[in-house]
Amino acid sequence: MPIFELGYRSWTGTLRPPAARVWAITKTGIALAFRSKILKRIVFMAWMPLLYFAPLFFGIGYVTDPTRDLEKRGFLVGIAQAFLGETISARLVTDPESVRPVAWSMAYHLYYSGFQAFFTMLVAAIVGPPLISQDVRTKAFLLYFSKPITRVEYLLGKSGTLFFYLFMITLFPGLVLYGISIALSPNLVAFTQTAPMIGKIVASSMIIAVPTTFVVLCFSSLTSDGRYALMGWFSLCLIGETTYHLFWRLLKIREPWVPLFSLRETMRIGIERVLNVQGQISVLGVGKDLQRQLESYSSTCPPELAFGYLAGLFLVGLIVLWHRISAPVRI
Amino acid sequence: MDALVSARNLTKLYGLVIGVNDVTLDIPKGVHGLLGPNGAGKSTLMKLITGQLVPTEGELQVLGERPWNNPSLFRRIGFCPEQDAFYSFLSALEFVTVLARMSGLSWSQAQGRAASALERVGATEFMNRKIATYSKGMRQRTKLAQALVHDPELLILDEPLSGLDPVGRREMTDLLNALAKEGKGILVSSHVLHEVQVVTKEFLLIYAGRVLASGNVHEIRALMNRHPHRITLRSPDGRHLAQQLVRDLPIAGIELDEEKGSFSVLTRDPAGFYDGLGRIVLESGLRVTEMVSEDDNLDAVFRYLVARD
Amino acid sequence: MILDLRSVTKFYGGFKALDDVTVAVRPGTTGLLGPNGAGKSTLIKSLLGLVRLTSGMASVLELDARTRSREIRQKTGYMPEDDCYLAGLAGVQAVAFSGELAGMPPRTALRRAHEMLDYVGIAEERYREVQTYSTGMKQKIKLAQAIVHSPSLVFLDEPTNGMDPQGRERMLRLIRQLPEKGVSVVVSTHILHDVEACCDSVLILGRGRLLVYDTLENLRTSTNGSYRVRFTGSGDAFAKALAGLGCPSRGSGDGEFEVLGAAPEAVFRAARESGAVIRQLASSRTSLEEIFLKAVGA
């Protein structure tokens, strides 16, 4: 047998397509971010709301099941009725098929805009800032861009990391919730009736994830110190939220552009439009509590403006990002 | 105050980590090279000498005084660190002027001396621009200028030639030679051994926080007879000459390289070998067209001393 | 030809970084030299497709740098001068990741990363994060990530930067082995000694212009019949003895003479006469430093 020496040897083989390279960047980012204990805890906490919503859906399903004995109203039914209000709860008993969609829409509206939007801010704050700023600080971009990848692939890879974690707390739990509710429903009619819900869950998750990702990455690309990006993101969220409440509650200024201060509120308006809660409630006729409920979902800001603002954030973030990573690579 | 630096049982510990370990040395006047692998304790030693660290144990005297907590000593020492440490919004001229002031020069003198120090290092062309715009070589020259500006008796230079192109390196070695002739004490630490050899033949080798060897490179090499010297000869009378040498001279081993038409001898007595070689060449009429010892230089000394057996 | 440049010019605003450079670089190890600001990094950047040339044509491994930049970066490796690393990753992870970026399947990349780390000489440290590495190890990692995807040409920018003499020697040895395995190397450095140790050709740039491109062999021509002699003993007596034998001599350093137009016997004879002992005798060849300084007109 001839002797093989231990020195350098070359390699030839089939190369993977560009998508595999994007995935390499994404999965490395995911693994690195996952080391953070805080992140693990927050993602865990972000699934806790399911402890309320799963019973809620269960309760709705229980009430709409004609075979169930409503005398055995339990805890679950109580939750459902408390959430839906008098009129809708009553309707749910008499004519469940017509009310199930609106009940679910209301539930998802609360889930996304009330809970997950908050967790999104936290998760984005932990995962996002170092993604690009660290590459600037450690000059890793020299290593990236001397390899056969394009700027688009780099961006897709980096945003993939953040999208992954954001979907972990928006899309995936939303789908799990949907699965649970279908499983707990009495018959398959529920599924055919609410199948469009899947699309709405995806859309709501995108409304939350896309602007967040690109704004945070944009901040991350503007600095070599992740903490500045973190501060930028928190400022945008918290100062915006405070300003919104200042205008809306204290000063009672309610022009259409006021809700735009709050990123959360803007997203809520978009999500509400997707879920169309107002539309569905209004066809249910009149009722004292219905009027109150309608108001709680409404806003002076038209959905088109909200979508436009979010799209604007996405575009501006993307343009700044692109410009920053195209800066002449200083070798 | 004969020695530049004088240490007795000098030890520095950073918590658990050892910087220098019971070092006793005397560095006399003149130019000296400070050598050692990374992490051997060179920078610790330099920081102790320039008063940035206090010894954990032992005594250290620089120019006759203790460097720690002794700002007046710093007027007599100039230090050029390896890392960059600048106020990038200043220009080189402003920066060196400020440092000149801190070294004790008066306002009236400071700027003038700064300008001439910058001229000496070849930085006049760009000295009015902001340091943030400088290339590596320009920063290096600025660092050297601030070490020289107050005309110190002792210069401590850590990798003074890094970042400089070959032209700059030549200029700086010339400058160091000129400074040495002026009678300044210079301690140069560098990894590029053949460059340090141009400036001085006296060395201090540090390894694992201890002094491994100090003195003239040839003396050190001569002392290291555990490693025989390797001398390569080229001759058209190859084998014949080799035979003659083995017969008559103190040779420990011989290697023939037919391909290159040369052979290498190993000897523990280089002086005896060279002496005898001249005689043999003239008496036997055998020719020598080339004789080189790659071994009698700093790289080899360094390698042998640092190699673990 | 591994590099083919024709009238390559690059303007940064009003500043001419590269000025009508035309050269065809042969396979092997080429040293890229030049004063600061001569255009070395601009040249490398444009060959890697990171900077667009103002005019002229450049091809790397027969691929046009303007249009096929991605393929070029597939077939070339780059070892930057700057301190750069992928934070948070262990050594072997970082190198494997570089391989994956170049399109290697993940397990192959990992396997090959280990191989490259063996080659550059990183043992158990490969499981530690790269930011904990010493300077020498960081340099080795940079080299490993540059060759993991088996390129045909690597650009090394100051490869021995900050390394101690042992590390430097090891790095030069690694560089010398690459051409034997079919990898051409371009080494950009200020340390002429390194170039002499590992390169067979030299490319010198100055003010954006090509000053010299030739093999070291050709450049360092022997000055006929001239010898560089190192000795111990009295310099004056030795010089006189040499003169007496018709060999003028010139001091070129302490204990060192340059003897013109002599045969070695004469040198030994003069030494015996004057009581000097010859320690070194070699044909006088121009050193790379002299070639460089002459080329840039210093």
Residues B238 and B189 in one domain: no
**Chain C CB contacts of B281 below 8 Å:** 264-265, 268
Contact criterion met (CB < 8 Å) for C281 and B288: yes
Percentage of the residues of chain C whose pLDDT score is greater than 70: 96
Report the DSSP pairing between strands C201-206 and C29-33.
parallel
- Report the pLDDT value the prediction gives residue A331, as an integer from 0 to 100: 37
Backbone phi and psi for residue C182, each to the nearest 5 degrees, phi listed first: 85, 15
Is residue A71 pLDDT above 80, yes or no?
Answer: no
Q: Do C177 and A134 touch (CB under 8 A)?
A: no
| The amino acid at C57 | M
Residue of C nearest to A9 (CA): C181
**B170 and B109 in one domain?**
yes
In chain B, the number of structural domains is 2
Which residue among A6, A9, A329 places its CB closest to the CB of C45?
A: A329
- Please check whether residues C149 and C240 belong to one and the same domain: no
Q: Are residues B67 and B104 in the same domain?
A: yes
Residues 6+ apart with CB under 8 A from C245: C262, C266, C269, C270
Point out the residue among A7, A32, A148 whose CB comes nearest to the CB of C74. A148
Rounded to the nearest angstrom, the minimum Cα separation between A101 and chain C is 46
Q: How far is A36 from chain C (nearest CA, A)?
A: 12
Which residue in chain C has the smallest CA separation from B304?
Answer: C166
pLDDT band at B144 (very low <50, low <70, confident <90, very high): very high
Q: Which chains touch C (3 or more CB pairs under 8 A)?
A: A, B
Angle at C87 between CA C84 and CA C93, to 5 degrees: 100
Task: Kindly state whether A6 is in contact with chain C, defined as any CB-CB distance less than 8 angstroms.
Answer: yes
Q: Identify whether residues B291 and B152 lie together within a single domain.
A: no
Cα-based distances in Å from A41 to A162, B267, C120:
17, 70, 40
Answer yes or no: is C183 within a domain. Answer: yes
- The model's confidence at residue C219, banded by pLDDT at 50, 70 and 90, is confident
Which residue range is the domain that position B241 belongs to? 224-306
pLDDT-derived band at B308, boundaries 50, 70, 90: low
Choice among B137-146, B195-204, C216-225, C278-287 with the minimum mean pLDDT:
C216-225
Do residues C296 and C206 lie in contact, with contact meaning Cβ atoms separated by under 8 Å?
A: yes
Out of C166, C268, C293, whose CB is closest to B37? C166
Rounded to the nearest angstrom, the minimum Cα separation between A273 and chain C is 41
Is A326 touching C (CB cutoff 8 A)?
no
Read off the pLDDT of residues A111-134 as tens digits, 9 standing for 90 and up: 998 889 999 999 999 999 999 999
Q: Give tens-digit pLDDT for B216-242.
A: 877 777 777 677 888 999 888 888 888
Interchain proximity C150–A24, CB inside 8 Å: no
**Placement of tokens 């040498």 in the chain:** B245
Domain boundary among C180, C198, C218: C218
C162 and C184 share one domain = yes
Same domain? C42 vs C164: yes
- Please count the structural domains in chain C: 2
B165 closest CB neighbour out of C190, C271, C282: C190
- Structure token pair of residue A225: 């110190």
The Cα–Cα gap between A290 and A106 comes to 12
- For residue A331, the chain C residues in CB contact (below 8 A) are 41, 44-45, 50, 80-82, 157
Residues 6+ apart with CB under 8 A from A55: A75, A76, A79
pLDDT band at B1 (very low <50, low <70, confident <90, very high): low
Neighbours of chain B (3+ CB pairs under 8 A): C
Distance from the C277 Cα atom to the nearest Cα atom in chain A, whole angstroms? 43
Question: Which residues of chain A does C41 touch, with a Cβ-Cβ cutoff of 8 Å?
Answer: 331
Residue of A nearest to C52 (CA): A328
Within-domain flag for C74? yes
Which pLDDT value is given to residue C150?
A: 93
Give the closest of C85, C181, C182 to A138, CB-based: C85
C73: closest CA of chain A, how far (Å): 5
Domain presence at residue C117: yes
pLDDT at C108 exceeding the cut of 50: yes
| Stretch (H or E) spanning B286 | none
- CB-CB neighbors (< 8 A) of C169 in chain B: 299, 303
> Pick from B6, B18, B16: which is nearest to B58 by CA?
B6
All residues of chain C having their beta carbon less than 8 Å from the beta carbon of residue B241 are none
Per-chain mean pLDDT for chain C: 88
- d(C-alpha A265, C-alpha A306), whole Å: 9
Instruction: Considering only the beta carbons, identify the residue of B274, B278, B290 that sits closest to C283.
Output: B290
Say if the Cβ atoms of C145 and A143 lie within 8 Å: yes
Quick one: pLDDT at residue B281? Answer: 86
> Residue A207, SS3?
helix
| Cα nearest neighbour of B160 on chain C | C162
Same domain? C150 vs C281? no
Regarding whether B233 and B213 lie in a shared domain, the answer is no
Q: Supply the pLDDT for residue A330.
A: 45
Q: Look over chain B and give the mean of its residue pLDDT values, rounded to a whole number.
A: 87
Of A218-232, B34-48, B255-269, highest mean pLDDT: A218-232
CA dist list (Å): A102 to A82, A200, A281, A304: 15, 13, 7, 22
Residues C184, C228: one domain? no
Query: Is A13 within 8 Å of C147 when comparing Cβ atoms?
Result: no
* Kind of pairing between the strands at B202-207 and B31-35: parallel
What value does the mean pLDDT take over residues B84-111?
89
- Of the listed ranges A158-162, A245-249, A269-273, C272-276, the one predicted with least confidence: C272-276
Of C175, C202, C218, the last residue of a domain is C218
Among the candidates C218, C251, C272, a domain finishes at: C218
B208 and B243 fall within a common domain: no
Indicate the range of A64-73, A304-313, C277-286 predicted with least confidence: A64-73
CB C144 within 8 A of CB C86: no
Q: What is the pLDDT at residue C244?
A: 83
Q: Is C132 on the interface with B (CB under 8 A)?
A: no
- Which of C229, C244, C235 is CA-nearest to residue C279? C229
Confidence of residue B118 (pLDDT cuts 50, 70, 90): very high
The burial class, CB within 10 Å (0-12 / 13-18 / 19+), for B31 is buried
For residue C165, the chain B residues in CB contact (below 8 A) are 35, 37, 191, 193, 299, 302-303
**Residue C94 backbone dihedrals phi, psi, to 5 degrees:** -65, -45
Q: Which of B189, B218, B247 is the last residue of a domain?
A: B218
Place of tokens 């709705």: A60
Taking the C-alpha atoms of residue A82 and residue A55, their distance in angstroms, rounded to an integer, is: 13
Q: Tell me which chain B residue has its CA closest to the CA of residue C161.
A: B162
pLDDT at B170: 87
Q: Which of the two residues, B270 and C171, has the higher pLDDT score?
A: C171
Considering the domain architecture, whether residues B79 and B157 belong to the same structural domain is answered as: yes
Range 151-170 of C in CB contact (< 8 A) with B: 161-169
Half-sphere exposure of B213 (CA within 13 A, CB side): 21
Q: What is the C-alpha to C-alpha distance for residues A266 and A313, in angstroms, rounded to an integer?
A: 11
Domain that holds residue C76: 3-218
Please report, for residues B175, C17, C141, C195, C290, the alpha-carbon distance to residue C294 in angstroms, rounded to integers and kept in the order given.
20, 21, 36, 17, 6
Rg (CA), chain C: 23
C29 & C39 share domain = yes
List of chain A residues whose C-beta atoms are within 8 Å of the C-beta of residue C74: 15, 148
CB atoms inside a 10 Å sphere around CB C110 = 18
How confident is the model at residue A278, as a pLDDT?
Answer: 83
Chain C residue numbers touching A150 (CB-CB < 8 A):
70
Question: Which residues does C53 contact at the CB level (< 8 Å), separation at least 6?
Answer: C8, C9, C10, C18, C46, C65, C66
Helix axes A86-94, A96-109, angle to 10 degrees: 140
Which candidate, B75, B23, B69, B72, places its Cα nearest to that of B44? B23
- List the single residue in A21, A140, A331 with the smallest CB-CB distance to C103: A21
User: CATH no. for residue B94?
Assistant: 3.40.50.300
Q: Are residues B118 and B148 in the same domain?
A: yes
Does residue B284 contact residue B247 with C-beta atoms inside 8 Å?
no
C171 and C151: one domain?
yes
Residue of C84, C105, C145 lying closest to A16 (CB–CB):
C105
Does any domain span residue C234?
Answer: yes
Residues of B in contact with C161 (CB under 8 A): 162
pLDDT tens sequence across C113-155: 999 999 998 989 999 999 999 888 999 999 999 999 999 999 9
Mean pLDDT along residues A305-319: 93
Cross-chain Cβ contact C82/A139 below 8 Å: yes
Does a structural domain hold residue C298? no
C191 and C237 share one domain:
no
Does C274 map to a domain?
yes
Residue A73 pLDDT exceeds 80: no
Among A315-329, B81-95, C155-169, C224-238, the minimum mean pLDDT is found in C224-238
- pTM of the model as a whole: 0.85
Instruction: Check whether residue B172 and residue B249 sit in a common domain.
Output: no
Does residue C186 share a domain with residue C231? Answer: no
Indicate whether C104 and C193 sit together in one domain.
yes
The span from the CA of A49 to the CA of A108, in Å, is 11
C258 with C284: CB under 8 angstroms? yes
Residue C297 lies in a domain: no
DSSP track, B214-277:
EEEHHHHHHH-TTS-EEEEEE-TTHHHHHHHHHHHS--SEEEEETTTTEEEEEES-HHHHHHHH
> Which of B190, B218, B246 marks a domain boundary?
B218
d(CA B106, nearest CA chain C) in Å: 35
Q: Give yes or no: residues C77 and C8 share one domain.
A: yes
Q: What's the pLDDT at C107?
A: 92
The last residue of one of the domains, among B154, B186, B218, is B218
Tell me if C204 sits within 8 A of C276, measured CB to CB: no
Q: What residue spans of chain C are helical by DSSP H?
A: 40-47, 69-75, 91-101, 106-120, 135-147, 165-177, 192-198, 216-219, 235-244, 264-274, 288-295
Do residues C69 and C178 both lie within one domain? yes
Whether B contacts A, i.e. 3 or more CB pairs less than 8 A apart, is no
Which residue is listed with tokens 């249910």?
Answer: A284
Q: State the best of A16, A139, A146, A154 to mutate against chain C, taking most chain C CBs within 10 Å.
A: A146
pLDDT band at C252 (very low <50, low <70, confident <90, very high): low
In this model, does residue C73 exceed pLDDT 50? yes
CATH number for the domain that contains residue B276: 3.30.70.100
Question: C 223-262 residues with CB below 8 A of B?
Answer: none
Residue scoring higher pLDDT (C130 or A285): C130
Same domain, B158 and B281: no
Its sign, for the CA torsion C105, C111, C114, C119, is negative
Q: Could you report the per-residue pLDDT of A165-190, keeping only the tens digit for each?
A: 999 999 999 999 888 888 776 666 66
User: Which pLDDT belongs to residue B309?
Assistant: 46
Contacts of B88 (CB under 8 A, 6+ apart): B130, B131, B132
Residue of A nearest to C69 (CA): A148
Give the domain CATH number at C272: 3.30.70
C269 Cβ under 8 Å from any chain B Cβ: yes
The mean per-residue pLDDT over the stretch B239-264 comes to 87
- pLDDT score recorded for residue A69: 63
Phi, psi of B266 (to 5 degrees): -110, 130
How far is the CA of A52 from the CAs of A56, A76, A80, A114, B221, in angstroms?
Answer: 6, 10, 10, 13, 81
Per-residue pLDDT band for A329 (boundaries 50, 70, 90) equals low
The C-alpha atoms of residue B211 and residue B195 are separated, in whole angstroms, by 21
Token pair for C232:
């111990």
Q: Are residues B288 and B236 in the same domain?
A: yes
Same domain, B181 and B239: no
Q: Does C83 touch chain B (CB under 8 A)?
A: no
